[in-house]
């Protein structure tokens, strides 16, 4: 099957549901590449054979982020700090003591806005919901930051990728996919850089006291 036919055969609803579920699962605190999936799905909207629309991807991702973070908040609220101790033993690569300490320092410094900014930082994305619950942040405050972060992140990411891709397609004509491949590689490079910087931050000694309950 030609690539145009293959892309045209992808049901838009399946893309929207899949993206919503992936982002929701990541927001629960499960480390899967939600942002990469979001970018990949948005790239489909640039191809003329695709019926997928970036606005609906943004809506699905926003909903997934808000719902997933809210469920993660509930899990953290019920499990408390012992939940992170258990996760640290089971999954030290993602929930080790240094990871939790870094996230806690962020909450101590920014409070509810850690949830908002955490949507844009890979390290904090899987921690924001569960840790906010474990630290007893009030849910209305959490929900405001959660909703704002999810909507801004999802809409901003999809709109940027879509419109930059459209410009690339006009400039590169038949070589549009080459340009998009370069954009994806650049995105991977930026992600690796962020991961490297996050690793340095986690290696730094804890310089703040354990935060009190967030009101």
pLDDT tens, residue by residue, 158-200:
998 888 877 766 655 554 455 556 655 665 565 556 555 545 5
Q: Give the ranges where 30-111 is alpha helix by DSSP (H).
A: 34-44, 54-90, 92-95, 97-110
Q: Is the pLDDT of residue 157 over 60?
A: yes
pLDDT tens digits for range 73-123:
998 888 877 877 777 777 677 677 777 777 788 888 888 888 898 888 876
Q: How far is CA 82 from CA 29, 101, 126, 214, in A?
A: 15, 14, 17, 18
> Do 27 and 34 contact (CB within 8 A), yes or no?
yes
What is the pTM for the complete model shown? 0.73
């Amino acid at each position: 099957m030609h690539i145009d036919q293959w892309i045209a055969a992808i049901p838009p609803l399946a893309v929207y549901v899949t993206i919503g579920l992936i982002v929701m699962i990541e927001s629960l605190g499960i480390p899967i590449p939600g942002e990469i999936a979001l970018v990949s799905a948005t790239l489909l909207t640039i191809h003329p054979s695709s019926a997928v629309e970036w606005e609906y991807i943004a809506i699905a991702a926003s909903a997934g982020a808000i719902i997933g973070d809210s469920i993660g908040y509930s899990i953290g609220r019920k499990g408390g700090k012992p939940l992170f101790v258990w996760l640290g033993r089971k999954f030290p690569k993602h929930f080790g003591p240094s990871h939790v300490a870094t996230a806690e320092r962020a909450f101590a410094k920014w409070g509810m806005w850690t949830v908002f900014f955490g949507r844009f930082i890979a390290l904090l994305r899987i921690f924001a919901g569960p840790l906010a619950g474990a630290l007893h942040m009030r849910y209305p405050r959490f929900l405001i930051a959660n909703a704002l972060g999810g909507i801004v992140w999802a809409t901003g990411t999809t709109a940027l990728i879509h419109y930059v891709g459209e410009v690339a397609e006009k400039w590169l004509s038949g070589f549009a996919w080459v340009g998009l491949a370069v954009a994806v590689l650049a995105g991977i490079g930026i992600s690796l850089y962020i991961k490297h910087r996050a690793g340095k931050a986690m290696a730094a000694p804890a310089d703040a006291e354990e935060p009190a309950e967030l009101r």
